[in-house]
Amino acid sequence: MSENKYAVLNTRVHNVDGYAKVTGRSTYTFDVKLPNMLYGKILRSPHPHAKILKIDYSEALKLPGVLTVATGKEDTLGVRQGIWRRYKDLCDEAILTVDKVRYIGEPVAAVAAVSEEIAEKALDLINVDYEVLPFVDDPMEAIKKEAPVIHEGFERNVNVTRQIAWGDVEDEMETADYIREDWFKLGGQHHMCMETRAAVASYTPDGKLTVWTSTQSAYYHQALLAGVLGLREGNIRVIAPYVGGGFGGKFELDGAQFCASILSMKCCKPVKVVFTREEDFIASKRRTPMYYYVRTGVKKDGTFCAREAKVFTNGGAYTGMGATALYLTGFFHSFPYRWKAYRYDGYRVYTNSLPSTSMRGFGAPQAMFCSEQQIDWIASDLGLDPIEMRRKNGHYEGYEVPGQATIASCGLDQCLTKIQEWVKSKGKLPKNRSIGISAAGFMSGGIFNWFDSPYSFSSAVVTINYDGTVELHVGAQEIGQGSSTTLALICAEALGVKLEDIKVHMGDTDHSPADLGAWGSRQTLMAGNATKMAAEDAKRQLLEFANAKLGFNIIYDLDIRQGWVYNVARPERGMSYYDLCKEALRGKEGQRIIGRGFYTPRRKGMISPAYSYMVQGLDVEIDPETGHIKIHESVTAHDCGQPINTLGLIGQLEGAASMAIGFGYYEYLPVEDGKVMNPNLVDYKLIRAPEMPDCHVIEIDTYEPEGPYGAKEAGEGLTNPHAAALGNAIFHGTGLQMKEAPIRAEAIAKAWKEKQEKGTEKKKK
């Protein structure tokens, strides 16, 4: 889209929260302080699997400054909840557990005291009698016949199974000239939001509960809390102040929100619970670790015939969003290619370790690590060009993924061309440097409503004030991804006003319309559509007054752009939007013009109304003896339809890259005997500024009919390809095929050493 086509879209603007964030004025749940507020701390299970026999907190209550202690059995309804509300058997988690603990770190009791220090001291005075049970912390162990039962009613600890299939895999495999099979192991990863989980809950004698919390969806938390506390949704107010990161880990009910609420309900005072960094590591949820078996059949010219995948995921102790990850990993394992036949069988297995859930990419980084590396290996086995092989089999506009999705916009081919040009331009690389590429893509919000919400997926209200300023009320949650700025831009464009005329209101269930929230890359498309509809509704009402006032011949229509209401055929003729607002208000008896918008995807296949596409290239220096890598350059060819928020887009793509590189190389999260071995920032490695490569992005121009102004997701899809691209760089540079993510330096060094020894043996023979 040419830059002149739109007034404000895809221009470099200051983030609407910018002033607050760069001056220390943005307050987070971490900062919330209320009068008469207490501090809550949580006693956590030291055992991965145990029955709770008795909890004696009498000594804790004697400690001066301790106001109350709460346990699951005495102070909760014992409701087993989950975010898959439509499927009761998957609602398996009573957060303050009543009878059994299933992972190390699970909440067992909670204390409210006048200071954090006293609350912590009180934890030591609570005596819990456990009957320790045998535990299993790996799917391979958990699925055995003799394994301990983690949840009653789930045979072999198999929590969820999913199948995605089309065509006849066996028949199509018969037509293949070459078949390859590989086994992969994918590690977990932690969201590592800079702001840990936190909540302040305030229950008052009139039976109302207000909860400030760091959340990706104020509405989800309002509804979930109502379900577990036995309160009406309307009597619960959830306020999301500024949110210090989410990445998929903050839209399920967590220990901070639940325990703070229970404690507050018990003593009728505000209670604040903030997780320490260690607690955040061990007692929130993580990216789902997986085992992948992939068998792929192709023709000798590289045409894809069939693929089958069998996947076992480590679900941890509870279901959470893990059921969705099981589904999406299977879908994105086929993406972005045309398969004559495809079959994915996924099994999610309960284990006694921290629960697995959604994390940016939602199962696709794992799927891509396997798929995109195997494709490069197949290309190498057959002597084919890896980019041309992808191009031959790639999605295109109009393609129907059988039974799953219709692709309405697709820039994959152009992305491949751009990366191909980049690879060519690099010429011959120095020694120990090699290039790896990976294709990827992602959904723009899901079509599913397993949450069983009765509301439109996204809603928006646009209200125009006397002076032309605009109140935009949305439920879409700003968590740093820039949604408030993006929606303000869409509103400004649709209504025809300047960005600075718009105020965005969200994050308060008392004032914002319900919205499913910030996950699955849904807000730009879904909340964007709702915002556009509301703004256009308001504009239409406003233009009625303009038409009356200006009285142009009926053949002329009006529009508004940058505060100027104008005759579209003769743009110099018109009036000021700001003058019009004054007249319209008087015309409406002093009532402000209000526009409403909403969006729910219907008949859009099984996954998403729209898909982004990208191809990622990495120029990597590898020292195979130490396994140390340095990424010299990152280039991405990217199709998100119409970019809306320029600075936001760049930031989201660079951020996605840092998290994706973390999944591929840095962020090792070992869990042994159910225990997270590195729950701190010394031992859990995040990429830092000196290691981050410069990231160049080439935006490919496409138009997505389902998205506002043609826009679709950006910022999550790009978490998907880097691990595979890194693996492919290692393959092309050293010949090593790394089948475990993160690809650890030790693993590279070990594999290299084995390769050298094999080579020496061969020579000796």
Partner 1 sequence: MSVICPVCKKVKKNPVDCARHMFGTGDKPHKAWFEAQGLSFIDLLLDQATQPGNKSYELVGGYIEKAQKDIK
Partner 2 sequence: MEKKLLRFSVNEVPYEIYINPKTLLVEAIRDHVGLTGTKRGCETVSCGVCTVMVNGMAVKGCSILAMQVDGMSVTTVEGLEKNGKLDPIQTAFLDEGAFQCGFCTSGMLMMAKAFLNETPKPKDEMEIRRGMEGNLCRCTGYNSIIRSIAAVASGKYREDK
Binding footprint of partner 2 on the chain (CB under 8 A) = 12, 14-15, 17-28, 30-31, 192-196, 242-245, 247, 276-278, 479-482, 647-648, 650-652, 654-659, 680-682, 686-690, 692, 694-695
Residue whose CB is less far from partner 2, 198 or 236: 198
Which residues make Cβ contacts (< 8 Å) with residue 431, sequence separation at least 6?
A: none
706 Cβ neighbours under 8 A, 6+ residues apart: 408, 444, 525, 529, 601, 604, 609, 610, 712
Between 145 and 762, name the residue whose CB sits nearer to partner 1: 145
Under 8 Å between Cβ of 650 and 455:
no
For 307-341, give the DSSP string. Answer: EEEEEEEEEETS-TTHHHHHHHHHHHTSTTB--SE
Where are the strands (E) in 327-485, listed by range?
341-350, 356-357, 400-401, 405-406, 433-443, 458-464, 470-474
Q: How far apart are CA 748 and CA 131, in angstroms?
A: 43
Shortest CB 100 distance to partner 1, Å: 24
Site string for partner 1, 267-306 (x = CB under 8 A): ------------------------xxx-------------
**Among positions 310, 433, 498, 588, the unique one binding partner 1 when judged by CB under 8 A:** 310
Q: How far is the CB of 42 from partner 2 (least distance, A)?
A: 16
Q: Residue count at the site for partner 1 (CB under 8 A)?
A: 24
**CA atoms within a 13 Å half-sphere pointing along the CA-CB vector of 515:** 42
666 touches partner 1 by CB under 8 A: no
- Cβ at position 291, least distance to partner 1 in Å: 4
Residue 747: which of partner 1, partner 2, none does it interact with, CB under 5 to 8 A by kind? none
**Residue whose CB is less far from partner 2, 285 or 395:** 285
Name which of 8 and 169 has its Cβ closer to partner 1: 169
- Which DSSP string corresponds to 179-191? EEEEEEEE-----
Q: How far is the CB of 170 from partner 1 (least distance, A)?
A: 5
Residues 194 and 699: their CA atoms lie apart, in Å, by 29
Q: Which residue in the set 60, 119, 198, 311 belongs to the binding site for partner 1 (CB under 8 A)?
A: 311
Which residue number, 290 or 580, has a Cβ lying nearer to partner 1? 290
The yes or no reply on residue 327 touching partner 1 (CB under 8 A) is: no
d(CA 507, CA 239): 6
Quick check: 170 binds partner 1 (CB under 8 A)? yes
**Is residue 156 a contact point for partner 1 (CB under 8 A)?**
yes
Is 696 one of the binding residues for partner 1 (CB under 8 A)?
Answer: no
Query: At closest approach, how far in Å is the CB of 533 from partner 1?
Result: 44
555 or 689, CB closer to partner 2? 689
- Verify binding: residue 350, partner 1, rule CB under 8 A: no
Query: Residue 293 CB, nearest distance to partner 1 (Å)?
Result: 4
Applying CB under 8 A, among 70, 123, 143, 671 the residue interacting with partner 1 is 143
| CB nearer partner 1, residue 293 or residue 448 | 293
Concatenating the DSSP letter of every residue in 15-73 gives -TTHHHHHTT---BGGG---TT-EEEEEEE-SSSSEEEEEEE-HHHHHSTTEEEEEEHH
* Interaction between residue 343 and partner 1 (CB under 8 A): yes
Q: Which of 34, 149, 158, 749 is in the footprint of partner 1 by CB under 8 A? A: 158
The dihedral built from the CA positions of residue 154, 158, 164 and 165, taken in this order, carries a sign that is negative
Task: Say which entry of partner 2, partner 1, none residue 650 contacts (CB below 5 to 8 A, set by partner kind).
Answer: partner 2
Can you tell me whether residue 176 is helix, strand or coil? coil
Q: Residue 15's CB: how many other CB atoms inside 10 A? A: 20
Of 334 and 477, CB closest to partner 2: 477
Tell me if 642 sits within 8 A of 449, measured CB to CB. Answer: no
Query: What residue has token string 């100027």?
Result: 564
Residue 234 buriedness (CB in 10 A; 0-12 / 13-18 / 19+): exposed
Choose from partner 1, partner 2, none: what does 415 bind? Cβ within 5-8 Å by kind: none
Shortest Cβ 308–partner 1 spacing (Å): 7
Rounded distance between C-alpha atoms, residue 574 and residue 562, angstroms: 13
CB of residue 197 to partner 2, shortest distance in Å: 12
Kindly state the tokens that stand for 298: 């192709």
Region from 81-89, 143-151, 320-328, 489-497 binding partner 1, contact rule CB under 8 A: 143-151
Beta bridge partners of 440: 614
Backbone angles phi, psi at 643, to 5 degrees: -65, 140
Applying CB under 8 A, the residues found at the interface with partner 1 are 139-140, 143-145, 156, 158, 163, 169-170, 181-183, 185, 291-293, 308, 310-312, 343, 345, 347
